[in-house]
A = this chain, B = another copy of it.
Amino acid sequence: MEAMQYNRENLADKLRAHGINPTHQRIEIAHALFSRCEHLSADQIMAIVNERHSETSKATVYNTLNLFLEKKLIREVIVDPNKIFYDPNTSAHYHMYDVESGKLTDIDAADIRVTGLPPLPAGMVTEGMDIVIRVRPADFLQQ
């Protein structure tokens, strides 16, 4: 994602542009995601937002993230059985997942071509294609 500077004002505009009423908590949650351009889980986001002093509840964090998803402001990334990651980057891209550390990094989709995919079943439409490359440190003997 481009090195865009996000502050509370342009985030409020961004929320409005997606049909989301920019409340204090929503702006803080958006700020947590967009200011650092990382993949965060719900509890990480809550920890960031409440770091200085309590600003939001667990229910609001989940409500808000689901609202953001629905309005396509963010995406969810499902690679870890334990938690969902929320991804502020909605441009076409895939992921590399370090199964050891849990670290998730983006792979730009621009250069990637996938050929030989079967046709979609009749009456179905694509929601999207996810590619995840699972990697681990090469240390030690492979088991």
Contacts and interface: CB of A to CB of B under 8 A. Distances in A.
Interface in A15-52: none
Contacts of A4: none
Instruction: Determine how many copies of this chain the complex contains.
Output: 2
A8 B5 CA distance: 61
Q: Name A's interface SS.
A: strand
A143 to B, nearest CB: 9
A127 B136 contact: yes
Nearest to A105: B121
Nearest to A99: B127
A111 to B, nearest CB: 4
Contacts of A120: 135
A108 B45 CA distance: 38
A86 to B, nearest CB: 11
A129 interface: yes
Interface of A: 76, 78-81, 84, 96, 98-99, 107, 111-118, 120-121, 123-139, 142
